[in-house]
């Protein structure tokens, strides 16, 4: 097996900058320089994206940035002992020991077990002390190899002759992910006089480090208070489910997870403590104490059964959220699930227009029914690519149109899902279909989805006999929620919503001159205000939801989509231009590196590419971005640019009407923003640019 760490992958007592970003980039460059990754940028992007989801600092001055990346060719550990320390988000302060774990997308099980084992070793004080005292790179490699070579039992949280707490950790290390804790047989006796029994599940998105470190930390904390705890680690190297008898005997369950628990129904009815996986590392003792308290509390939150009790989980999770937060969460969930229908459908329609001409809408139904590849049409639009182009264009257009037909039902269905979970999906889809049938458009879909979701939520809270619970989510909730929500749409709400929708469409279709430009300015400002945040998403959702109403005679929704997409491309492209071309000296080394990646991110319509710049200097970057975005939105709307695709930037050029002006509007906005941010950095209230010691990046 390939050695995971070599002396070339170790950096001792070096200044690698003052931010996690620079440290991760430097370690990624070392991995690439040793031939273990195909590129620096791809590996860095994957690792830093993981870092932004959850900080990887853990107590004890340690950080474990990690990722699975297609850029990695060989499972690798890179290590840095930092001077000065860098804050990776741990509660007890910055880290001086950083282990960068880089795993290929298709890493084999044996390597994943070793990587997970290394992560577990990092919570051992004697191991980290030895790392801090090591005098050479070779000594570091020897220490790490020694930790990896030990038998798994050597890393158990408890000795073999102790109480059964942690006795299964060795097995978990051998299996890569298994039940960590007492043997199954040890937990099947009477609980009346013995210690409390707890079970836990740990899981993180990557499933390499935090999953196993949280497991060991919880086991160790439980041992200190004499509690029998077993953990199921749902990691990348596989998962062995806890014995059902162990779960049945448990007094409470701990979920230290950042992803959904697989097989959650196994724990139904158990008192539960639910927290992010990192809390299992940072505060394992508190989680154990909370679980013990929950075990003795008849009113404690419990893992829900399917059906009515499932609603209680949502109620507990949403406790403390005000109505605005809940509404925003539901709407954004609906939009996120709707977008794939719109993205695929919009691009297919655009391809259909490209091959079959814009009049293909009049011929598509007849062509797809009456013709085939072996019987090409004789009647088709004049601007089609011949008979074959007309046939293929009709097929593509029809598939896209049918896909867009799911826009409103999917929006409504998943809004309801966000409110009532799975029992809300069917009523939401039905209410959305009713809204589409009545012509209420996406406004009707939103109203129908909210109605269906809240009605399903209320019905799900009804206390019913145990024998009836199994019917609740599959029969009773869908039946009653569909009847009430869709009935209200037909009888009371549909008509007024249709009138509002028609009025809105007429207003948008009639926008010309100053009105269209003003709308473009507003959309541009919103897209650049928070770079992928709630305001940005509102503008984007508005544009995407309107695409279904666009036609050749009503191109306003396409124009709104083009203005939104063009404006959203401005901030990252402008930051790239300013930091890599116009004036590099005003930007730190890390920002210059980010600027290189921002070129592609901006061209792809990923506004988040400007976030590192905005985070470092929000008072200059955000106003400058909003100025350029407003200019771009105004030019795009004034020129009548249209986009049938909801995403893709310049790479969906074939779906953009008046592509030349689309590009011109972006260029003008980018230049305005770039010059504005440079001017603000030079002449606004002076701010010292964070300087980072140059780090040689070798590939």
Give me the active site residues, please. 66, 204
Q: Are 664 and 640 contacting, i.e. CB atoms less than 8 angstroms apart?
A: no
Across the chain, which distance is largest between two alpha carbons, in Å? 87
Q: Which of 665, 638, 662 is nearest to 650 (CA)?
A: 662
Q: What is the tally of helices (H) and strands (E) in the chain?
A: 27, 13
One DSSP character per residue, 536-553 reads HHHHHHHHHHHGGG--SS
Q: H or E stretch including 184? A: none
Whole-angstrom Cα distance, residue 587 to residue 583?
8
C-alpha distance from residue 273 to each of 1, 202, 299, 358, 425 (Å)? 40, 12, 13, 57, 27
Whole-angstrom Cα distance, residue 26 to residue 14?
11
Q: Look up residue 117 and give its two tokens.
A: 């084992």
Computed from CA positions of residues 513, 518, 520, 521, in that sequence, does the dihedral angle turn out positive or negative? Answer: positive
Strands of 228-233's sheet, edge to edge?
Answer: 179-180, 228-233, 197-203, 252-257, 272-275
Whole-angstrom Cα distance, residue 640 to residue 559?
6
Whole-angstrom Cα distance, residue 360 to residue 644?
15
Pairing mode, strands 197-203 and 228-233: parallel
Burial label for 191, CB within 10 Å (0-12, 13-18, 19+), is middle
Q: H or E stretch including 59? A: none
Whole-angstrom Cα distance, residue 254 to residue 269?
13
Other beta carbons less than 10 A from residue 531's beta carbon: 24
Q: Which residues of 124-160 are buried (b: 16+ CB within 10 A; e: fewer)?
A: beebbebbeebeebebbbebbeebbeeebeebbbbee
Q: Which of 504, 550, 541, 549 is nearest to 523 (CA)?
A: 541
Other beta carbons less than 10 A from residue 326's beta carbon: 15
Other beta carbons less than 10 A from residue 655's beta carbon: 24
**Backbone phi, psi, residue 339, to 5°:** -55, -40
Q: Side-chain half-sphere of 79: how many Cα atoms within 13 Å?
A: 28
Give the CA radius of gyration of the chain.
Answer: 29
Q: H or E stretch including 83? A: strand 76-86
C-alpha distance from residue 78 to each of 20, 47, 118, 680, 686 (Å)? 14, 13, 12, 39, 38
Question: Strand, coil or helix: what is 79?
Answer: strand
Q: H or E stretch including 229? A: strand 228-233
Residue in this structure with the two tokens 């985070």, named with its chain if needed = 615
Q: Which of 519, 596, 599, 600 is nearest to 564 (CA)?
A: 519
List 153's β-bridge partners, or say none: none
Whole-angstrom Cα distance, residue 299 to residue 212?
31
List 37's β-bridge partners, or say none: 72
Q: Look up residue 611 and give its two tokens.
A: 């976030």
Q: Are 425 and 417 contacting, i.e. CB atoms less than 8 angstroms apart?
A: yes
Q: Look up residue 248 and give its two tokens.
A: 């049945």
């Amino acid at each position: 097996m390939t050695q995971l760490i070599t002396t070339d992958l170790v950096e001792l007592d070096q200044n690698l900058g003052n931010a996690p970003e620079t440290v991760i980039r430097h370690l990624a460059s070392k991995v690439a320089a040793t031939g273990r990754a195909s590129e620096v940028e791809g590996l860095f992007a994957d690792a830093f994206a993981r870092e932004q989801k959850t900080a990887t600092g853990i107590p004890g001055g340690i950080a474990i940035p990690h990722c699975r990346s297609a850029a990695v060719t060989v499972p690798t550990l890179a290590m840095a002992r930092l001077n000065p320390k860098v804050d990776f988000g741990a509660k007890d302060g910055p880290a001086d020991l950083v282990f960068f774990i880089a795993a290929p997308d298709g890493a084999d099980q044996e390597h994943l077990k070793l990587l997970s084992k290394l992560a577990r070793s990092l919570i051992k004080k004697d191991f980290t002390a030895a790392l801090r005292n090591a005098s050479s790179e070779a000594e570091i490699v020897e220490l790490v190899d020694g930790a990896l070579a030990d038998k798994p039992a050597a890393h158990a949280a408890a000795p073999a002759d102790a109480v059964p707490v942690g006795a299964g950790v060795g097995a978990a290390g051998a299996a890569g992910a298994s039940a960590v804790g007492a043997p199954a047989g040890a937990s099947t006796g009477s609980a009346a006089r013995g210690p409390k029994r707890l079970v836990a599940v740990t899981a993180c998105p990557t499933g390499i480090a935090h999953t196993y470190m949280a497991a060991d930390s919880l086991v160790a904390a439980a041992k200190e208070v004499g509690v029998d705890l077993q953990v199921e680690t749902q990691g990348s190297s596989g998962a062995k489910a806890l014995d059902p008898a162990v779960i049945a005997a448990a007094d409470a369950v701990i979920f230290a997870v950042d992803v959904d628990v697989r097989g959650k129904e196994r724990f139904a009815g158990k008192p539960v403590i639910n927290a992010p996986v990192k809390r299992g590392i940072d505060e394992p003792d508190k989680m154990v104490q909370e679980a013990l308290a929950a075990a003795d509390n008849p009113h404690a939150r419990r893992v829900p059964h399917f059906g009515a009790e499932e609603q209680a989980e949502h109620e507990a999770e949403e406790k403390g959220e005000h109505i605005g937060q809940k509404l925003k969460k539901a709407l954004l969930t609906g939009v996120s699930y709707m977008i794939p229908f719109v993205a695929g459908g919009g691009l297919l329609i655009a391809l259909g227009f490209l091959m079959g001409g814009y009049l293909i809408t009049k011929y598509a139904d007849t062509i797809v029914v009456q013709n085939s590849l072996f019987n090409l049409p004789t009647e088709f639009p004049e601007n089609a690519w011949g008979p074959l182009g007309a046939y293929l264009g009709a097929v593509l257009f029809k598939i896209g149109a049918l896909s867009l037909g799911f826009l409103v039902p999917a929006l409504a269905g998943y809004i309801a899902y966000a409110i009532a979970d799975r029992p809300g999906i069917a009523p939401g889809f039905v209410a959305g279909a009713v809204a589409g049938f009545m012509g209420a458009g996406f406004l009707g879909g939103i109203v129908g989805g909210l109605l269906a979701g809240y009605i399903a939520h209320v019905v799900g809270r009804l206390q019913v006999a145990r024998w009836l619970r199994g019917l609740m989510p599959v029969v009773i909730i869908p039946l009653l929620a569909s009847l009430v929500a869709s009935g209200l749409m037909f009888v009371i709400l549909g008509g007024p919503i249709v009138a509002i929708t028609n009025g809105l469409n007429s207003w948008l279709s009639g926008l010309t001159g100053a009105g269209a430009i003003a709308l473009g300015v507003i959309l541009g400002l919103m897209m650049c205000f928070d770079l992928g945040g709630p305001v940005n998403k509102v503008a984007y959702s508005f544009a995407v939801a309107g695409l279904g109403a666009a036609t050749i005679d009503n191109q306003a929704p396409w124009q709104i989509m083009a203005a939104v997409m063009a404006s959203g491309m401005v901030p990252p492209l402008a930051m790239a231009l300013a930091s890599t071309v116009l004036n590099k000296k005003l930007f730190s080394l890390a920002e210059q590196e980010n600027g290189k990646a921002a070129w592609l991110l901006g061209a792809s319509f990923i506004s988040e590419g400007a976030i590192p710049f905005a985070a470092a200097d929000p008072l200059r970057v955000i106003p400058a971005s909003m100025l350029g975005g407003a200019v771009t939105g105004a030019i795009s709307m004034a020129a009548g640019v249209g986009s049938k695709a909801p995403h893709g930037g310049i790479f969906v050029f074939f779906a953009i009407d008046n592509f030349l002006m689309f590009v011109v509007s972006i260029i003008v906005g980018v230049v305005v923003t770039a010059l504005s941010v440079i001017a603000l950095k030079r002449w606004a209230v002076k701010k010292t640019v964070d300087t980072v010691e140059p780090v040689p990046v070798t590939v």
